[in-house]
Amino acid sequence: MSDQYTISLPDGSTREMAAGSTPADVALAIGPGLAKAALAARIDGELVDLTRPFTGDASLALVTSRDEADALELARHDFAHVLAEAVQALFPGTQITFGPSTDDGFYYDVMAPAGREPFSMDDLPAIEEAMRGIIRADKPLRREVWSRQALIDKWTRDGESFKAEWARELPEGEELSVYWSGDDWLDMCRGPHLPSTGKLDPAAFKLMRVAGAYWRGDQKNAQLTRIYGTGWLNKKQLDAHLTRLEEAAKRDHRKLGAEMDLFHLQSEAHGSVFWHPKGYLIWRTLEAYMRRRLDGAGYVEVKTPQVMDAKQWEQSGHWGKYRENMFVIPDEVPNTEDADGSGGPLISGEADWMALKPMNCPAHVLIYRQGIKSYRDLPLRMAEFGCCHRNEAHGALHGIMRVRQFTQDDAHIFVRADQLVEEVRAFCDLLDLVYKDLGFADYAIKLALRPEQRFGSDEMWDWSEASLRDAVAATGRATAEFGWEELPGEGAFYAPKLEFHLTDAIGRTWQCGTLQTDTVLPERLDASYIGEDGERHRPVMLHRAILGTFERFIGIMIEHYAGKLPVWLAPVQAVVATIVSDADGYAAQVTAQLVAAGIRVESDIRNEKINYKVRDHSLKKVPHLLVVGKREAEEGTVALRTLGAEHQKVMPLVEAIALLRAEATPPDLR
């Protein structure tokens, strides 16, 4: 073995380092400033501790706080371990399990000592202070490799039953690492970690909440307490995150939905939305807009059954790959002998099975197969605002953002292979137009690649992935400006997919639009066309959506606009409010003229002060309030108050109607 290793650095230079040296040694050799700033390293692309020795010639990139993604991952991982150490220091006898980092922080699952109530929000301030003490102590974080049996013995001796159970299941012969925090606390972990707890900023984290959690996610197991925190690189980042959370709470679509009387949810229909008249007006307006855009883009609209035989889902592949997410139905009349069920089982268990459709694609293939298709018939763009059902876990449901019953703005485009690039370009252009019309000019495009479990040959996947990659490049959107990124393993079981992630007003991203290139389903369901050569060929099937689902997209829009929807989408576009009862007659005339102009308007002639009416309609997010009194009635004017504006404008009624009519016109009709 050589006594020297050649270490290649990102700037193209190299360093000759002695065997046994580490990235920390390289950082020190370059300069004391870098040695102090270094947090971890990437050796041949793998993120490792600064103290991990080189094993041969390698490429090296030192990680500092400027490498924000890596630095945040490391910091959040360490905050989780510091949390576990603090809890055990404060409450001896606490058992620890595991604690990963999350998208904005970390959590750790723990079990309170015997005889103590589970941890609560009241415990968090003391735990936070103990964590800060551990951070200020600047305890070194040191890696060791242990044997499986040594781990089992350690956890058993310490009364850590959960850790001991996990250690017993680890494979023999695998390199098992633990990390010491100083010389008095350790946890088993793959790492990597920061060099010491002092690399964390004690002012850059906050414990947020506690929740119940089951050991290993199984409700049959012991219940633990999950302590959640948010962690950042510095206090400025933490403060910005807490401000975003505060703003997000103000924008919560569930809160605004109630204030604006748009919808509600209740336990009698878990995961399904009860749309109120005003909420459904938003839906209808959005649906009408989307239908006009699809008509203009050459789509034909269809409607397919809600329930189909299980055999169809078996043939498509969904029964084997997706059945746990489907609502299945026995194809028989249930037992009706008596109301209390004592006459026997409700169903026999012998009937054939049917299922509520979780997606529309197999049914669209069945429509496509009606009649012989020629190469001249393609592309065929088949759209459906299809109501679907998916059996989501109760705990995963979230307002109208994640539901069990939803309506997709779904479409399937059947194309010849030579038409694919042009169809993807046309779809990207259509999606771009819709997103900008709806107020989302900022979005990113990702390519989700083949998952481990999939249908189809490697050659098919190679072609499908390359086709999407080339098609987006042909549109000029496979660039950093559009956030282009490839996501290994995240495609569907039958096709790779493009994902369109839009960014809302407070910087959150939402994956909405999708486009998938599928050659599997046409094969499985025997879709074909007659080519120019007179032979049968398989079409390529493009699965695509722009909004994703109406429910979720409306929820996103409510939060993006904080309820202040564009006038053309607002369920009530204007309210005519009187100052005095003498103006009631004029208010009725103004309301009638607004209705005649196509404005969604209400009148408010309640015997209330005008300031009360202004506050009330502002809370309901009405875009325009037209205030009328005796003077306005005499002069034929209105005092126009626009939501969010500081001052009202007095103008002739005809001018106000023209202004509102322009704003109330959907963008595709202007």
Catalytic residue positions, numbered? 361, 390, 408, 410, 412, 497, 543
* CB-based contact 357:370 (threshold 8 Å): no
CA distance readout (Å), 273 to 257, 269, 505, 552, 575 = 11, 8, 25, 11, 27
Distance CA 261, CA 273 (A): 13
Distance CA 521, CA 316 (A): 6
Distance CA 643, CA 272 (A): 31
Distance CA 254, CA 555 (A): 8
Task: Let me know how many helices (H) and strands (E) the chain has, helices first.
Answer: 20, 32
Give the closest residue to 358 by CA, choosing from 418, 395, 406, 317.
Answer: 406
Q: Is the dihedral of CA 479, 483, 489, 495 positive or negative?
A: negative
For 197-235, b/e burial (b = at least 16 CB within 10 A) is bbbbbbebbbbbebeebebeeeeeeeebbbbbbbbbbee
* CB-based contact 451:497 (threshold 8 Å): no
Distance CA 400, CA 213 (A): 24
Longest dimension (CA), the chain: 100
Distance CA 47, CA 190 (A): 11
Structure tokens that stand for 509 in this block: 């991203």
Distance CA 512, CA 504 (A): 12
Structure tokens that stand for 587 in this block: 């208010």
Distance CA 665, CA 670 (A): 6
Distance CA 333, CA 593 (A): 55
Distance CA 333, CA 176 (A): 57
Distance CA 573, CA 660 (A): 8
CA distance readout (Å), 322 to 64, 180, 329, 403, 461 = 43, 43, 15, 17, 20
Q: Where are the alpha helices (DSSP H) in 562-645?
A: 584-596, 610-619, 630-635
Following DSSP, what letter does each residue of 283-348 receive, concatenated? HHHHHHHHHHHHHHTT-EE----SEEEHHHHHHHTHHHHHGGGS-EEESSPPP-S-TTSTTS-SS-
Give the closest residue to 229 by CA, choosing from 125, 358, 354, 351.
Answer: 125
3-state secondary structure 448-476: ECCCCCCCCCHHHHHHHHHHHHHHHHHHC
Q: Which amino acid appears at position 37 of this protein?
A: A
The sheet that has 574-578: what strands, in order across it? 601-604, 574-578, 624-628, 637-642, 649-652
The DSSP code for 390 is -
